[in-house]
Amino acid sequence: QVQLQESGPGLVKPSETLALTCTVSGYSITSGYFWAWIRQPPGKGLEWIGNIYHSGSTYYNPSLKSRVTISVDTSKNQFSLNLSSVTAADTAVYYCAKEGGRYSPPGTWGQGTLVTVSP
Amino acid sequence: QSALTQPASVSGSPGQSITISCTATSSDVGIYNLVSWYQQHPGKAPKLMIYEGSKRPSGVSNRFYGSKSGNTASLTISGLQAEDEADYYCFSYAGDRVFGGGTKLTVL
Question: Which residue among B36, B45, B101 places its CB closest to the CB of A110?
Answer: B45
Q: Which of A51, A105, A103, A33 is nearest to B32 (CA)?
A: A103
| A47/B contact by beta carbon, under 8 A | yes
Instruction: For chain A, state the CA radius of gyration.
Output: 13
Give pLDDT tens digits along chain B (108 positions): 678 999 999 999 999 999 999 998 876 666 678 999 999 999 999 999 999 999 999 999 999 999 999 889 999 999 999 999 999 999 998 878 999 999 999 999
Among A3, A35, A40, the residue to mutate for chain B (most B Cβ within 10 A): A40
d(CA A109, CA A95): 7
**Residues from chain B contacting residue A103 (CB–CB below 8 Å):** 32, 34, 93-94
Residues 6+ apart with CB under 8 A from B105: B9, B10, B11, B12, B18, B20, B77, B84, B85, B86, B87, B88
Question: Which residue among B34, B94, B99 places its CB closest to the CB of A48?
Answer: B99
d(CA A53, CA A104): 13
| A63/B contact by beta carbon, under 8 A | yes
d(CA A96, CA A50): 10
